[in-house]
Structure 1
Amino acid sequence: MDKVNQLNVKKDMKVSELIGQFDQSGVLGSGRVARASNILCDMINDVGMNVFMSLGGPLIPGGLRNIVTDMIKNKHVNLIISSGANITHDMLEAFGGNHYRDEGRDDEDLNADGIGRIADINVGSDDFTIFEREIIKIFEDISSRKSKISIQELLYEVGLLIDDENSFLATAARMKTPVFAPGLIDSMFGLQLWMFTQDHDFTVDAVADMHYLSDFVFDSERIGGILLGGGLTKHYTLASTLLKGGLDSAIQITLDRPEAGSLSGAPLQEAKSWSKAKCGSTLETVIGDVTIIFPLIYASVLDKI
């Protein structure tokens, strides 16, 4: 057995050096973070591996927008599976809206001021008004050319019409990185889409995504996963690989716990029993806040690749 080395923190230390210390420190949270960093580094360096990233929870309003965009630009991810909310909030900023930091205000006072709260992050109704106005223009443009479209194709077309280099949706469209959102209707984007279809001949076919996704999976030599948060986006990522025996490598960061039996809190090892991760695959689950842990992991990887 290897002994546990005590951490040594010094001035001007690189993030990669700190994670390297974590790698020698033990099997608690720090050791898991280090192993996740090593796995992500290996996934990015594996030229035969397509890396899927799932975005669950409020990651874009929580500050990870530029990181996701940079990973697409750097070709460190090859496919995105996002919640509808993260797509909505990406577009909200692309259209000139903002997210605000403000703690401690009474929620009824926020409501009176037309402000919605996401933990410590606030979004004003004026920002959503801008979003609603701009998304309708985009729907009108796309529906004038196509009457039926898959979710993935819709997000690609939307991305091409967004003029913002920091938008992950726009960057994905220009980089030909497919974006899927199986729960798109459960978002402000989905609400506006439903309202638009009430008086326009425009149909979004969710089942059609599976043709593209299954081809992408079968054409991949190996598949890696970056699962940020849980829920539908995590399961869609895992299940998409089922017909090919599951993921070859993956990391998961979640605040959910396994005791309740939820998928969000299930350790990645559990996926092996369903053939959603291969037996012999390299997996690591980190329990913690994605907005803290993933930037540290990715920063350390950038030092090593």
Structure 2
Amino acid sequence: MKVNPINISNCMKVSDLVDEFDRSGVLGAGRVGRACNILTDMIQDDDMKVFMSLGGPLIPGGMRNIVTKMIENRHVDLIVSSGANITHDLVEAFGGSHYRHEGRDDEELNEEGIGRIADINVGSDDFTIFETEIIKIFEKISSERNHISIQELLYEIGLMVDDENSFVAAAAKNNVPIFAPGLIDSMMGLQLWIFNQDHDFVVDAVADMHYLSDIVFEAEKVGAILLGGGLTKHYTLASNVIKGGLDAAIQITMDRPEAGSLGGAPLEEAKSWAKARCGSSLASVVGDVTVIFPLIYAACLDRISSD
């Protein structure tokens, strides 16, 4: 099959552009096209549970409303998130913001109480509000129960958040469970530790595995959207080992495979561990999630609405 040149025209839709990528079939364009095809098939398959992992600074990087929209559209059934993405979602839910970095010196930022994530700034005042509000929520939850799983904790938090753009709130309201195996490695985790200095409040990470394994076993098929690498990617893959691996998956990452890290590993490698089934539909795209996934999902939405 020959490589087709990519054609563009005035006023073409995002889905038309991605279709051109798919027709070309090679390099990054071809991988984006295949990923969009797989995502569309996953969403339209009523027998498939769709897991989504969120690694890297996706929420402070502008992806918050997209994740929330996917939940509200019922295009994702389960989320595995870093603690940081949950924290940054709640920072905004409690009235804080993320700001564009304007090239200032990091030592100056430190003096002013501003933290930097690449070209994103977050002020200490916003984290102070977060700390105050999350402690209030911990107080309410712990007054009713002193032993809770991470997933249950996030569900209870989501029910108390009044922000239509919060993915944590949307997940709770739409019964989409959020798992965060690395929650302690975040500002929320720090606040949990501080809270536990004078409260009998146990957050049980192992308890999540009972609920997660039930979801995997009861699903006819499981697909995954892996945004970024690291712990969230591995937790999503490893949770499906118990049933022979994922049936379909796409991943978008900037990590490279040469060093052997999981974040940079192509999805095909997961077949050797039975984290993805032999014969499964897989696509690995190398690039910035905040550029590529909105493009893919916008094209997917257009395809679904046209069917």
Contact 2:98 2:122 in 1 (8 A): yes
Q: What is the rounded CA distance, in whole Å, between the counterparts of 2:6 and 2:107 in structure 1?
A: 46
Per-residue CA distance 1:87-142 (angstroms, 9 max, x = gap):
00000000000000123111001111110000000000000001000000000000
Q: What is the rounded CA distance, in whole Å, between the counterparts of 1:276 and 1:103 in structure 2?
A: 42
Residue matched to 2:197: 198
The percent identity for this pair of structures is 75
- 1:82 Cα deviation (Å)? 0.1
Per-residue CA distance 1:211-258 (angstroms, 9 max, x = gap):
000001001000000000000000000000001000000000000000
- 1:188 Cα deviation (Å)? 0.1
My pick for the range that moved more, 5-14 or 28-37, is 5-14
Q: Secondary structure of 2:5's match? A: coil
Q: What is the rounded CA distance, in whole Å, between the counterparts of 1:185 and 1:7 in structure 2?
A: 46
Residue matched to 2:116: 117
> How many pairs does the alignment contain?
304
Q: Secondary structure of 2:300's match? A: helix
Residue type of the alignment partner of 1:80: I
Residue matched to 1:221: 220
Q: Secondary structure of 2:232's match? A: helix
Q: What is the rounded CA distance, in whole Å, between the counterparts of 1:300 and 1:190 in structure 2?
A: 36
Q: What is the rounded CA distance, in whole Å, between the counterparts of 1:190 and 1:285 in structure 2?
A: 31
Asked if 1:237 corresponds to 2:233, the answer is no
Asked if 1:296 corresponds to 2:262, the answer is no
Residue matched to 1:257: 256
- 1:187 Cα deviation (Å)? 0.1
Q: What is the rounded CA distance, in whole Å, between the counterparts of 1:103 and 1:269 in structure 2?
A: 40
Residue matched to 1:168: 167
Q: Which runs of 5+ in 1 are unaligned?
A: none
Summarize the alignment of residues 1-305 of structure 1 with structure 2, pairs less than 5 Å apart.
2-305=1-304
- 1:19 Cα deviation (Å)? 0.2
Moved over 3 A (4+): none
Residue type of the alignment partner of 2:57: P
Q: Secondary structure of 2:49's match? A: strand
Q: What is the rounded CA distance, in whole Å, between the counterparts of 1:101 and 1:25 in structure 2?
A: 36
Residue type of the alignment partner of 2:237: L
Per-residue CA distance 1:2-37 (angstroms, 9 max, x = gap):
221211111111000000000111310000000000
Q: What is the rounded CA distance, in whole Å, between the counterparts of 1:21 and 1:196 in structure 2?
A: 53
CA RMSD, Structure 1 to Structure 2 (Å): 0.5
Q: What is the rounded CA distance, in whole Å, between the counterparts of 1:140 and 1:186 in structure 2?
A: 21
Residue type of the alignment partner of 2:219: S
TM-score after normalising by structure 1: 0.99
Residue type of the alignment partner of 1:248: D
Residue type of the alignment partner of 1:243: I
Residue type of the alignment partner of 1:100: Y
Q: What is the rounded CA distance, in whole Å, between the counterparts of 1:280 and 1:190 in structure 2?
A: 39
- 1:152 Cα deviation (Å)? 0.4
Q: Secondary structure of 1:268's match? A: coil
Residue type of the alignment partner of 2:157: V
Q: What is the rounded CA distance, in whole Å, between the counterparts of 1:113 and 1:38 in structure 2?
A: 47
Q: What is the rounded CA distance, in whole Å, between the counterparts of 1:26 and 1:227 in structure 2?
A: 21
Contact 2:97 2:126 in 1 (8 A): yes
